[in-house]
Amino acid sequence: MQRITLRLPDQQIEMLQQMVEAGEFPTVSEAVRDAVRQLIEKRASRVLKESDQVSFKV
């Protein structure tokens, strides 16, 4: 697993911390990983499809 640095507004960090305190996630890092997984699931197929179309144009 690789590490990245991410800057977020204070309000977003506070909300993530509240989610951890409420038991939604074990850590803020896991909350962020979950959000990234959901984003990838939602948009990956579209991005891959578009990249296939680009490769056919070359």
Return the SS3 of 6: coil
Look at residue 53 in the predicted model and tell me its pLDDT: 59
Asked if residue 28 has pLDDT above 90, the reply is yes
Whole-structure pTM value: 0.75
- Distance between CA atoms of 58 and 51, rounded to whole angstroms? 11
- How far, in Å, CA of 16 to CA of 13, rounded? 5
Distance CA 29, CA 49 (A): 30
Rounded CA-CA distance 45/23 in Å is: 31
pLDDT of residue 58 exceeding 50, the answer is no
pLDDT score, position 11 = 98
Element (H, E) at 2: none
Which residue would you say has higher pLDDT here, 25 or 46? 25
User: Which pLDDT tens digit goes with each residue over 1-24?
Assistant: 899 999 999 999 999 999 999 999
